[in-house]
Chains A and B, each alone.
Chain A
């Protein structure tokens, strides 16, 4: 956890970010007021099930939201600058140079009609106009070597369909990192890959992170991946961050019933005999018509009256910024305070 202290400064500060999709059926609040900070050299995992808003939140930061999606509130500050106030051109300059993004499906994420080298060089030259084609090509080959692609000087002239899935994801990473961004957002980068390739990609990302001094936001629904690569974790449910903390906090001291449920539903190496996985009952929230109170309330075993009518505030539950949005925690906190006053 050495990354959390020291000389690292705040790189990204998201405050009360709200994103809605205005569909024919009504407003879908995909991200409903989330806040977190990311420091330099820090890897933040964002976990949650499909539709919890984890990708949408990342798209909002990168300015990649497409109609009918819109940021309707909150602020995103990158290195002190307000990203939401940037115009399209400024945002395009920001993307790729200071913050880059890689995506889930490497098979379709590269343009099939241009060579891998072309696409890498384009990423570099669109931000560094002074770099010549020859220099850019050299740098592209270097990057491909860095991400572990053999024969990079030949591979650079090949088309994406001549690469395997794992190699394409490596090439995507090379493309994302070619301008030395300070932030890399990885949107489920290993989900579409075989387990063995997943492992290689994670190792690669760890190595490159150390070498390039960058922060990573790692979006995934795979808790195993989180444990392996992240410093901090935000657990998202229905557009809210329900719990935030260090990897240790989340895995060994989970506070929110949803986090506990997620961990209980995961197979573990130390399971004995025919122990069954415990599913989270119920179905995900209909975001067109979310519950009035806590969005997890209807599925929660510990649901109380207050949960159904009032959304819970996030309260600090531990050190290193461990926080949790649950009425149980609020109750707990009040009890403690009472005890302190009396005792």
Chain B
């Protein structure tokens, strides 16, 4: 177990180095420079490049990034908040927290909605309610979040005026509703579909017949015996999902003008603010890597047959 964990941490570290390297070279392959504006002269650009070391060979710049990251130094923003530490921008201006808050709520909604809906559909297989749920979940998986977000805005903010149009920094609970729903639509429908499929598989297993023969009531059979056995595919999906839902809310953040990390990430790419791009990418990648590790440990909790040891262990 200890060996396994160490191995996983080493692998995670390597993954992050690889992602940072690829991002570094890709970002430098994009034409343009953070200092290019309509009025800037080639001399000004050259001077700025020299100031931040962007005139040095790529290999040297890459090495500097890597060594600085090891020391926890993510550099300073070149353009968007010139001179501000990237760590400050990412963690101390509330952007990350804002994205995490919306994301976690969306995750919660997705799980609490998706899993029961999947169970209900599986239990009522072939009946009307199953068909209705199938249509709804297919709709939810197919509709892009910006369309759904716009639809919500039109209905609840513009027409009915129940909810605020702009969510901004999510000061009121009402501001959460639409962003969270838009973000949760796809994953909840996807989870419902996943749960239904694996639940149907579980329901036909011999141990379900045993549970019925023991005299357990339907609810207990479905939610205790069948559900836990059908959770593995759902958990597999939850790992990458929880990372992407927390960070991939760019569209939703833009639609509801929430100043979160997703929105800032895209702006940093458009502005060629290299250190911010690097910083954001590495933080998001780290989040995904951590979530995958958590998922592997969660497997073990859900299914005791899974052992977390490598062959050498």
Contacts and interface: CB of A to CB of B under 8 A. Distances in A.
Interface string B204-242: 011101111111111010000100110000000000000
Interface string B84-119: 000000000000000000000000000000000000
A169 to B, nearest CB: 12
B305 interface: yes
A131 interface: no
Contacts of B205: 108
Interface residues of B, number: 21
Interface stretch (A11-19, A33-41, A120-128, A208-216): A120-128
A159 B209 CA distance: 18
Nearest to A106: B206
A277 interface: no
B206 A113 contact: no
A109 B206 contact: yes
Contacts of A109: 206-207, 209-210
B83 interface: no
A161 B214 contact: no
B215 A93 contact: yes
A173 B150 CA distance: 60
A103 B304 contact: no
Given A112-B229, A159-B305, A161-B305, A96 B210 contact: no
Contacts of A229: none
Interface string A104-137: 0100111111100000001100110000000000
A277 to B, nearest CB: 32
A238 interface: no
B240 to A, nearest CB: 23
A273 to B, nearest CB: 43
A97 interface: yes
Interface residues of A, number: 30
A123 to B, nearest CB: 4
Contacts of B216: 92, 96, 122, 126
A111 B215 contact: no
Given A159-B304, A159-B305, A112 B207 contact: yes
A127 B209 contact: no
B215 A103 contact: no
A112 B214 contact: no
A109 B211 CA distance: 9
B303 interface: yes
A126 B207 contact: no
Given A111-B207, A112-B303, A126 B214 contact: yes
B214 A123 contact: yes
A183 to B, nearest CB: 12
Contact of B214 (A88, A89, A96, A159): A96
B270 interface: no
B236 to A, nearest CB: 16
A127 B207 contact: no
B268 to A, nearest CB: 45
B155 interface: no
Contacts of A105: 206
Contacts of A111: 207, 210-211, 225, 229
A11 to B, nearest CB: 18
Contacts of A251: none
B69 to A, nearest CB: 41
A113 B215 CA distance: 19
B213 A108 contact: no
Contacts of A94: 215
Contacts of B304: 112-113, 159, 161
B132 interface: no
Contact of A101 (B213, B228, B229): B213
Interface of B: 205-207, 209-218, 220, 225, 228-229, 302-305
8 contacts: A62-B213, A95-B214, A109-B209, A110-B207, A111-B207, A112-B229, A126-B215, A159-B304
Which 4 residue pairs across A and B have the least CB separation, nearest first? Answer: A96-B215, A95-B215, A108-B206, A111-B207
